[in-house]
Structure 1
Amino acid sequence: MAELNTGRRLQPRVDLTAMVDLAFLLITFFMLTTNINKQQALDVAMPDTADSTDFMPLADNRTITLLLGGDGRVDWYWGMLDKPLAGPYTSSMGKGGIREVLLEKKDEVRTLTKEEKGITVVIRPSARAAYASLVDILDEMKICGIHQYMIGEISPAEEAILALR
């Protein structure tokens, strides 16, 4: 575009119309192509409290009980509390702690029983356990591929185990 030079000095002007158009096109492109992640919720099937039927006893050679205490501590025993096959032991949350125990016991049950039935985990949070500890242990069940687990109430004898450590 040609301009007539009249001798007076004009203010330099930059036309930003193309830049604004490009910015809106990029914003639209990225909004339409990004994946919006939805929060994932873990489904936990809880039994009907009105149902008074007795439940089958758990096989102690494939049952591990996790006692959730304060400060992210996990005490566990293998089998039944009155005559445990192993434990009680203390562990921590995460990769270096309870996850290794769960994976080891899962493999041990698979080799010993040679059945389709896997390990059963009983999770019993104490009153001192944080809600985050329960969520973390449910995440560990998912990470370890354990499909049979339940959340139960902690007994006074199990509370005594937590108090001793």
Structure 2
Amino acid sequence: MENLSKKVRSKKLNTRVDLTAMVSISFLLIIFFMVAAELRKPKIMNLGLPERYCGDDGVIHCGVGINNRVMTLLLGDNDKIITYSGLLELPDESPKKLKYGQEGIRKELLNKIRQVQEYTGDHERGVIVIIKPSKKSNFGNLVDILDEMAIANIGTYAIVNDFTPEESKLLAAN
């Protein structure tokens, strides 16, 4: 009867929680929120806005110095480049016919960069180049000009395809 009087006790198991998965999930959440916070930051970009100055009359004028920073490149057939600075109606200098390469357009771009930096006194405000390929120019010429923009470190340029009648006459004459 001795056997009957003893109670059968259940074996107590050691309760232990494995936190390996929880640590992995917490690190993934931390990485997710760090990346989400970085992507949520606003991205800004410098704009090539015209200069402002206060005139003798006390009024703020805009865009007066922009003509000194603008250079227009007209691309024609047979590897022809015509360039002028400022507006064609009021050019700073007469339009020039140039060639591609180091002694042609690249030299002119580097000279214009130097002139603009002397004029503005600011290395942030560089040359603004307007590239106008004609219908007779080929794709290789456009690629060559874009390469020249990269070589000369010109940060602000635009490719425009609308010619004024004066520009068409200038391109046809040269």
TM-score where L is the length of structure 1: 0.64
Could you list the runs of 5+ residues in structure 1 that have no partner in the other structure?
Answer: 1-55
Distance 2:151 2:76 in 1: 21
Alignment of 1:86-97 (within 5 A): 86-97=93-104
2:119 corresponds, among 109, 112, 116, to 112
Runs of 4+ in structure 1 displaced over 3 angstroms? none
The residue aligned with 1:52 is: none
Alignment of 1:52-71 (within 5 A): 59-71=66-78
Q: Which structure: larger Rg?
A: 2
Name the SS of the counterpart of 1:77 in structure 2. strand
Name the SS of the counterpart of 1:145 in structure 2. coil
Deviations 1:47-95 (A, max 9, x none): xxxxxxxxx9681011100000111110000100111101211001111
Q: Root-mean-square deviation (CA), in Å? A: 1.5
Name the SS of the counterpart of 2:108 in structure 1. helix
In the TM superposition, residue 156 of structure 1 has moved relative to its aligned partner by 2.1
Q: Share of identical aligned residues, percent?
A: 39
The residue aligned with 1:142 is: 150
Equivalent pairs counted in the alignment come to 110
Could you list the runs of 5+ residues in structure 2 that have no partner in the other structure?
Answer: 1-61
Q: Does 1:78 align with 2:55?
A: no
TM-score where L is the length of structure 2: 0.60
